[in-house]
Amino acid sequence: MAKDGTQRGGRRPRAGCKPQPLAEKLQEGKKAVRIELPPVTPLAGAELDEPEELMGEEMPNPSDYLSTRQRNGKPLGADEIYRETWQWLKERRCERLVNPRLLESYAQAFARFIQCEEAVSQYGLLGKHPTTGGAIASPFVQMSQNFQKQANNLWYEIFDIVKQNCTTSFESFPQDDMMERLLRARK
């Protein structure tokens, strides 16, 4: 207790041992809990009409804003990142655990990062000051760093969900393909 009567201190956030991934717990034979979503149960009660023929969807469609055309005429491409990430989640059976809005935010941030990197490649690292005409750092560099940081933070959220709930080990990440595409786009 401090001199002014308030209680301060205590355990710091994120201090101590980090949680162990589910796959490692299972390998070591430790007790582990996996989030299981309840199965869909048929309705009981009143008689229902014959069901309509419905087409099932493997993946929820990404929102339209992820594929809108940009000012330069090219599509943003975030819808493709969304699909690749969702497929990666599905292979690990964690697609139902991640909120689609979180996936959309990640896809848009990563697509904007790629867009800024293409602008840096096209226009260079220096720009012209609007009033003095002197050389200044390109604003695309700062924007690129901000979008990359945002995308990484969102990816850590997604990956943490997978790490805590996936029963199989894995090595590849969807970013590997995206970084390869980014490097190829520079040519």
pLDDT digits (tens, 9 = 90+) for 3-17: 777 777 777 777 888
According to the model, what pLDDT value does residue 46 have?
61
Kindly tell me if the per-residue pLDDT of 77 is higher than 70. yes
Number of H helices, E strands in the chain: 5, 2
Least confident range from 21-30, 51-60, 68-77, 161-170: namely: 51-60
In a domain, 73, yes or no: yes
pLDDT digits (tens, 9 = 90+) for 83-117: 999 999 888 888 888 999 999 999 999 999 999 99
In a domain, 27, yes or no: no
pLDDT digits (tens, 9 = 90+) for 22-43: 888 888 888 887 777 777 776 6
According to the model, what pLDDT value does residue 1 have?
63
In a domain, 124, yes or no: yes
Structural domain of 91? 63-185
According to the model, what pLDDT value does residue 56 have?
45
According to the model, what pLDDT value does residue 90 have?
87
In a domain, 102, yes or no: yes
Q: Alpha-carbon distance 152 to 158, whole Å? A: 10
In a domain, 90, yes or no: yes
In this prediction the pTM is 0.61
Q: How many CA atoms lie within 13 A of 157 on its CB side?
A: 15
In a domain, 56, yes or no: no
Strand partners, 126: 137
Tell which residue, 169, 112, 111, has the closest CA to residue 142: 112
Neighbours of 6 (CB within 10 A): 7
pLDDT digits (tens, 9 = 90+) for 125-183: 888 888 898 898 888 999 999 999 999 999 999 999 888 887 766 666 666 666 666 66
Strand partners, 136: 127
Number of domains in the chain: 1
Q: How confident is the model at residue 58 (pLDDT cuts 50, 70, 90)?
A: confident
**DSSP label of 77:** -
3-state secondary structure at position 69: strand
In a domain, 117, yes or no: yes
In a domain, 136, yes or no: yes
